[in-house]
Amino acid sequence: MEASTRMLLSRAGRLVPRGQPILFSSSPSACNDTSAKQYRHNHSLALAGQASRRPYLPQSSTSTRSIQPDTHSRASSHSPMAPSSPTTPPRKKVTLHTIDALYRRNEPITMITAHDFPSAHVADQNGMDMVLVGDSLAMVALGMEDTSAVLEEEMLLHCRSVARGAPTAFLVGDLPMGSYEISPAQALTTAIRFIKHGRMHAVKLEGGAAMAPTVAAVVRAGIPVLAHVGLTPQRQNALGGFRVQGRTAAAALQVLADARAVEAAGAFAVVLEAVPAEVAAYVTRRIGIPTIGIGAGAGCSGQVLVQVDMSGNFPPGRFLPKFVKKYGDVWGEASRAIAQYRDEVKSRAYPAKEHTYPMKKEEVEEFERLTALLDDAEAKAEREFPES
Ligand SMILES: Nc1nc(=O)c2c([nH]1)NC[C@@H]1CN(c3ccc(C(=O)N[C@@H](CCC(=O)O)C(=O)O)cc3)CN21
Ligand SMILES: CC(C)C(=O)C(=O)O
């Protein structure tokens, strides 16, 4: 066999899939000294003009890069949403001052949940004042039965992803059940982790008058607290499920007392969840901090919804609380796209020519010439050494 053919085989041997017979060693050390040198020479020639200048860039990315117009910035394949569109005007970072200014001029405050980088990014790009990493992610992102199962470490992982996706919104992390109720010291320890590791700007914790000393301890340490009264889902077992709160006059007065207690403790705002609209409107008028309603009517200072609920990112037939308005059909669109992809892969309609990488005609011809030699040599070897 000719030396050049052997060289070709030893290089091509790397391309033979596992389990296929490899006729010759792909390592130059298996050849004699002269062919080892020859191997290195040929090898570097094959990569000349590519590898010698840009040793670690595959040909496709080098050539793709050169045909990109200068104005076009390429998204990293690891983070396709990373570059913000140059057509979107930059927004000033939302701070507690921004929230306070909105409240003072009676402009509704917008808040939505996010649980990962893309859901945070789309919320931030579309002008949400606040983004909440709610513990509802236990149910909507982690498939858990209720919110009480989610761990602090799990919340922190999601918080960090959201922080990377939402560079301008005011970010609130939800302290999960078990991470703050034991003592104000425990709450402060957890809250500090949400700021330091979770990269949040504030924390939310459930509870009214009973949690006021805890709210105060966290606020004293310089961590803004969003309180949460009315339906507090982490206490669903004590409440007898996800039940509307403040429905009797006495219960309504309790909601007011809770809101006043957390205001006095220094909360910057309070979530009012699943309380009658009249009660929420009255509480909003009677306290001096913003109320963020969910299932609490239009009389609140702002609104919050769970993103997967309002964007319709759930399968048909799922139960929805009465307060949810479905603004989109993300599930329907994703289903349509996946079904079409499935069909096109099965029918070989995808990928089409425009989804493939071009190769120069001369290179294709040279490739065909070399592979013909390779085929001949392998056929010959198979005849000569049928067992190997
Ligand atoms: N996807 C999702 N969206 C949410 O809004 C949400 C969560 N998960 N998980 C945590 C809590 C739980 N939430 C819920 C869940 C159910 C009802 C609910 O069933 N409400 C009844 C009221 C029943 C009554 O009259 O007392 C309803 O019919 O809306 C309310 C809030 C709100 N939060
Ligand atoms: C529904 C909001 C207020 C919440 O607490 C969550 O998403 O966990």
3-state secondary structure the chain: CCHHHHHHHHHHHHHCCCCCCCCCCCCHHHCCHHHHHHHHHHHHHHHCCCCCCCCCCCHHHHHHHHHCCCCCCCCCCCCCCCCCCCCCCCCCCCCHHHHHHHHHCCCCEEEEECCCHHHHHHHHHCCCCEEEECCCHHHHCCCCCCHHHCCHHHHHHHHHHHHHHCCCCEEEEECCCCCCCCCHHHHHHHHHHHHHCCCCCEEEEEECHHHHHHHHHHHHCCCCEEEEEECCHHHHHHHCCCCCCCCCHHHHHHHHHHHHHHHHCCCCEEEEECCCHHHHHHHHHHCCCCEEEECCCCCCCEEEECHHHHCCCCCCCCCCCCCCCCCCCHHHHHHHHHHHHHHHHHCCCCCCHHHCCCCCHHHHHHHHHHHHHHHHHHHHHHHHCCCC
Nearest CA to ligand 2 atom 7: 134
Residue of 113, 133, 135, 136 to test ligand 1 pocket, by largest number of atoms within 8 Å of CB: 136
Cβ pair 131, 171 in contact under 8 A: yes
Cβ pair 225, 202 in contact under 8 A: yes
Give the phi and the psi of residue 92 in degrees, each rounded to 5: -70, 145
Most confident of 32-41, 59-68, 77-86, 369-378: 369-378
Which pLDDT score is estimated for 89? 67
Using the mean position of ligand 1's atoms as its centre, give its distance from the Cα of residue 237 in Å.
14
pLDDT at 315 over 80: yes
Nearest CA to ligand 1 atom 26: 243
What CATH number has the domain spanning 96-336? 3.20.20.60
Angle at 294 between CA 292 and CA 295, to 5 degrees: 135
Using the mean position of ligand 2's atoms as its centre, give its distance from the Cα of residue 337 in Å.
29
Residue of 116, 131, 136 to test ligand 2 pocket, by largest number of atoms within 8 Å of CB: 136
Exposure letters 331-345 (e unless 16+ CB within 10 A, then b):
beeeeeeeeeeeeee
**Among residues 152, 206, 263, 273, which one is catalytic?**
273
Nearest CA to ligand 2 atom 5: 134
- Closest Cα partner for 284 from 305, 307, 303, 265? 303
Ligand 2 contact, 174 CB (< 6 A): yes
For the stretch 271-309, pLDDT in tens is 999 999 999 999 999 999 999 999 999 999 999 999 999
- Annotated active-site residue 273? The verdict is yes
Atom of ligand 1 minimally distant from the CA of 140: 1
Atom of ligand 1 minimally distant from the CA of 244: 26
Using the mean position of ligand 2's atoms as its centre, give its distance from the Cα of residue 104 in Å.
24
Q: Tokens 């070709």: give the residue.
A: 8
Q: Structural domain boundaries of the chain?
A: 1-46, 96-336
Confidence of residue 378 (pLDDT cuts 50, 70, 90): very high
Which pLDDT score is estimated for 76? 47
Interface predicted TM-score of the whole assembly (ipTM), two decimals: 0.96
Ligand 1 contact, 140 CB (< 6 A): yes
pLDDT at 246 over 50: yes
Atom of ligand 2 minimally distant from the CA of 113: 7
Nearest CA to ligand 2 atom 2: 134
What is the rounded distance in angstroms from the CA atom of residue 59 to the CA atom of residue 359? Answer: 10
For the stretch 113-142, pLDDT in tens is 999 999 999 999 999 999 999 999 999 999
pLDDT at 94 over 50: yes
Ligand 2 contact, 10 CB (< 6 A): no
Exposure letters 41-51 (e unless 16+ CB within 10 A, then b):
ebeeeeeeeee
Residue of 245, 273, 324 to test ligand 2 pocket, by largest number of atoms within 8 Å of CB: 273
Nearest CA to ligand 1 atom 8: 136
Pair type for strands 225-230 and 202-206: parallel
Average pLDDT over residues 360-377: 98
Ligand 2 contact, 271 CB (< 6 A): yes
Ligand 1 contact, 243 CB (< 6 A): yes
pLDDT at 87 over 70: no
What is the rounded distance in angstroms from the CA atom of residue 190 to the CA atom of residue 302? Answer: 26
Using the mean position of ligand 1's atoms as its centre, give its distance from the Cα of residue 282 in Å.
22
